């Protein structure tokens, strides 16, 4: 299914099931897409996470019900998926700027939030600097954490900062490793990859590894391994200081390259950020985004 059409159908599915206990997994299954890429693509194209969109739509509809005045606040709280009237009132106030009772006195305070219409204008997607390369299966090793899709952009940089503070001395100053973890960091060149993996974990979350290519042997306690099968990879080159260069290319992939190409589709719920050695703040720093793809039928 074409990428833009998949996003449109995902929005339609959400709208048709808005008052149900809908999950991202349900929307992804409805359009035959990886949850990981639905989350990422939806956010890149619309500026909202799926959870934000669903929450905002419900709070707008709740406000319309508040203005009708036909239902009690406690009933509206349960109707729109909140466990208590207090949690509903708090969320309502954050979104509209006033609590439900005050909105009834001044309808002008309502914050409209209408269904999204996905419209992508393709500008130069075919001119992106990328190659599609077949690679044999390989294994990565690294430190792993689980992140929610809502918090990932804020928390993953913190993860990297903690990693660099702890291991930068042995990576950049030729210090000798003093334990198995430090030895594994050096031998497997941890920090070359940032790996996102969607699999059977907590809802609305994914695994992220600060990783390197595994040279073999058992992973020391505190590290994990993950093996990629034989795959085609679309590798998008990024040049420029981080995080801006990666973010710009990431946005272009979802708003231009995926909608504009009819040859490839996403093959696996995972992707890789590749980092070269050197100063990530300089204008000619090189990095890349690797996306597993397969040819369209």
Whichever domain contains 174, its CATH number is 3.20.80.10
- Residues 222, 134 share a domain: yes
- Residues 286, 163 share a domain: yes
Q: How many structural domains are present in the chain?
A: 2
Q: Report phi then psi at 118, rounded to 5.
A: -75, 115
176 vs 269, more confident: 269
Least trusted range by pLDDT, from 101-110, 223-232, 255-264, 279-288: 255-264
Of the pLDDT bands very low, low, confident and very high (cuts 50, 70, 90), residue 124 is: very low
Domain boundary among 109, 137, 171: 109
Question: What pLDDT, on the 0 to 100 scale, is given for residue 112?
Answer: 94
Tell me what the pLDDT averaged over the chain comes to: 91
Question: What pLDDT, on the 0 to 100 scale, is given for residue 122?
Answer: 46
Q: Where are the alpha helices (DSSP H) in the chain?
A: 3-16, 24-30, 35-46, 50-68, 73-79, 85-96, 100-105, 152-172, 180-187, 244-252, 258-260
* Structural domain boundaries, residue 263: 125-295
- Residues 228, 258 share a domain: yes
Q: pLDDT digit string (tens) for 55-77?
A: 999 999 999 999 999 999 999 99
Q: pLDDT digit string (tens) for 32-47?
A: 988 999 999 899 888 8
Question: What pLDDT, on the 0 to 100 scale, is given for residue 125?
Answer: 44
Question: What pLDDT, on the 0 to 100 scale, is given for residue 70?
Answer: 93
CB atoms within 10 A of CB 227: 9
Question: What pLDDT, on the 0 to 100 scale, is given for residue 191?
Answer: 96
Q: pLDDT digit string (tens) for 8-31?
A: 999 999 999 999 988 888 999 999
Span 279-284, average pLDDT:
92
Judge contact between 128 and 234, C-beta under 8 A: no
Q: What percent of the chain has pLDDT over 70?
A: 95
Judge contact between 180 and 220, C-beta under 8 A: yes
Is the predicted pLDDT of residue 83 greater than 90, yes or no?
A: yes
Span 135-144, average pLDDT:
98
- Residues 255, 200 share a domain: yes
- Residues 265, 165 share a domain: yes
d(CA 156, CA 229): 25
Question: What pLDDT, on the 0 to 100 scale, is given for residue 200?
Answer: 64
Closest CA to 289 of 50, 120, 44, 52: 44
Query: Would you put residue 79 in left (φ > 0), alpha (ψ -120 to 50) or beta?
Result: alpha
């Amino acid at each position: 299914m074409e990428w833009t059409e998949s996003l449109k159908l995902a929005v339609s599915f959400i709208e048709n099931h808005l008052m149900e206990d809908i999950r991202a997994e349900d929307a992804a299954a409805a359009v035959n897409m990886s949850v990981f890429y639905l989350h990422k693509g939806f956010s890149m194209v619309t500026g909202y996470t799926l959870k934000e969109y669903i929450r905002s739509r419900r709070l707008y509809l709740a406000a319309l019900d508040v203005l009708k005045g036909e239902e009690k606040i406690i009933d509206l709280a349960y109707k729109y998926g909140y466990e208590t009237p207090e949690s509903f009132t708090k969320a309502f106030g954050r979104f509209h700027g006033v609590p439900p009772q005050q909105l009834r006195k001044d309808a002008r305070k309502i914050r409209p939030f209408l269904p999204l219409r996905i419209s992508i204008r393709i500008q130069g997607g075919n001119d992106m600097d990328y190659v599609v390369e077949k690679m044999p299966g390989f294994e990565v090793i690294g430190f792993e954490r689980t992140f929610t899709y809502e918090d990932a952009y804020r928390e993953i940089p913190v993860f990297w900062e903690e990693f660099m503070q702890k291991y930068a001395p042995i990576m950049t100053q030729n210090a000798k490793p003093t334990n198995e973890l430090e030895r594994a960091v050096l031998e497997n060149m941890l920090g070359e990859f940032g790996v996102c993996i969607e699999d059977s974990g907590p809802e609305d979350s994914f695994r992220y590894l600060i990783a390197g290519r595994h040279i073999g042997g058992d992973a020391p306690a505190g590290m994990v391994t993950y093996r990629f099968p034989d795959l085609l990879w679309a590798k998008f080159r990024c040049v420029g200081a981080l995080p801006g260069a990666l973010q710009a290319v990431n946005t272009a992939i979802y708003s231009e390259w995926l909608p504009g190409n009819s040859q490839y589709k996403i093959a696996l719920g995972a992707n890789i950020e590749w980092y070269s050695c050197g100063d990530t703040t300089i204008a000619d720093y090189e990095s890349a985004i690797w996306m597993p793809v397969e040819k369209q039928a």
